[in-house]
Amino acid sequence: MKIIKKGLAVLLCMIIMLGAASIAANAGTISMPYIWGDINVNRKVDLSDIVALREHIMNLDYYYETAHMRCDLNFDGYVNLADIVILRRIIFTEHAAPRIPLVDDGTITQIKQDWVAKYTEVNIDEIWIEPYGSYNDAVAVVLSDSYHMSTDNIWQDKIDGVAFTYFSGDEIKVWKNGDFYTLRTAYESGLITKGDLLTIAYARRVSQLTYYS
Ligand SMILES: [Ca+2]
Ligand SMILES: [Ca+2]
């Protein structure tokens, strides 16, 4: 099972990296390959998804599996009745997916420059960056470069009830005014709100699932 876990981690890591361009191009719209609430992956959200979600609850899988990611609609790391409540709201009240606030190209370049100045010696073009939205000038991102290689550790951080699964090396950071913070520090120090945290969790889910759709 451990080998399978590691294989999945590597695969998901690759998918996250492949998804970078996609999320940047599509952020702010709802026409994404991953549709919030589409549990059975038929590109519609309807009663059949409630059936599929109930089936998943009866047969729980490991937390990092894609089915579990699709089912965890409130991003708390669990799949249970609370997610059915959200799904019913999505279906019956047209409850919309969180909107990911766009990050402009100039800000992306600035974040890369600040990252180089503080943490690495690589050329700015060698930095891979995936934005998860801009929140009152605080920008959530995943950054990597050849000096910061990922490992195959999987761990989960839960911040005020919002779960983030990390494949080591792809932790979400928050940039503001040239400084970088962990997501937890950014939230606990008031740089981002609980609502922002949920949107960031959604953006990450979109990233992780985009190439499975
Ligand atoms: Ca569906
Ligand atoms: Ca949940």
Residue 60: predicted pLDDT: 60
Residue that terminates a domain, selected from 29, 59, 93: 93
Beta strand segments in the chain, E? 128-135, 138-144, 154-159, 162-167, 173-176, 179-182
pLDDT tens, the chain, 213 aa long: 344 444 444 444 444 444 444 444 444 443 457 899 999 989 999 999 999 999 888 876 544 578 888 999 999 999 999 999 999 999 999 788 899 999 999 999 999 999 999 988 888 988 989 999 999 999 999 998 876 666 667 888 999 999 998 876 689 999 999 999 999 999 999 999 999 999 999 999 998 887 555
Whether 52 is in a domain gets the answer yes
**DSSP letter at 86?**
H
Helix H or strand E segment including 8: helix 2-26
Is there a single domain that holds both residue 80 and residue 31?
A: yes
Residue 119: predicted pLDDT: 86
CA of 41 from ligand 1 middle (Å) equals 5
Ligand nearest to the CA of 85: 2
Is there a single domain that holds both residue 89 and residue 111?
A: no
CA of 95 from ligand 2 middle (Å) equals 16
Is there a single domain that holds both residue 115 and residue 87?
A: no
Whether 210 is in a domain gets the answer no
**Which structural domain range is residue 158 located in?**
105-200
Whether 166 is in a domain gets the answer yes
Kindly give, in sequence order, each residue whose CB lies less than 8 Å from that of residue 47, ignoring residues fewer than 6 positions away.
91
Into how many domains does the chain fold?
Answer: 2
Residue that terminates a domain, selected from 93, 124, 142: 93
CA of 153 from ligand 1 middle (Å) equals 32
CA of 36 from ligand 1 middle (Å) equals 9
Residue 106: predicted pLDDT: 97
CA of 27 from ligand 1 middle (Å) equals 21
Is there a single domain that holds both residue 65 and residue 109?
A: no
CATH of the domain at 20: 1.10.1330.10
Whether 65 is in a domain gets the answer yes
Ligand nearest to the CA of 76: 2
Residue that terminates a domain, selected from 93, 126, 153: 93
Residue 150: predicted pLDDT: 60
Ligand nearest to the CA of 162: 2
Is there a single domain that holds both residue 17 and residue 44?
A: yes
Is there a single domain that holds both residue 117 and residue 151?
A: yes
Is there a single domain that holds both residue 83 and residue 139?
A: no
Is there a single domain that holds both residue 109 and residue 191?
A: yes
Whether 206 is in a domain gets the answer no
- The answer to whether 133 and 142 have CB atoms below 8 angstroms apart is no
Q: Report how many helices (DSSP H) and strands (DSSP E) the chain contains, helices first.
A: 7, 6
Residue 178: predicted pLDDT: 96
Is there a single domain that holds both residue 141 and residue 119?
A: yes
Residue 170: predicted pLDDT: 82
Is there a single domain that holds both residue 83 and residue 119?
A: no
Ligand nearest to the CA of 35: 1
Is there a single domain that holds both residue 151 and residue 74?
A: no
Whether 17 is in a domain gets the answer yes
Whether 55 is in a domain gets the answer yes
Whether 158 is in a domain gets the answer yes
Backbone φ and ψ of 41, nearest 5°: 55, 50
Is there a single domain that holds both residue 50 and residue 116?
A: no
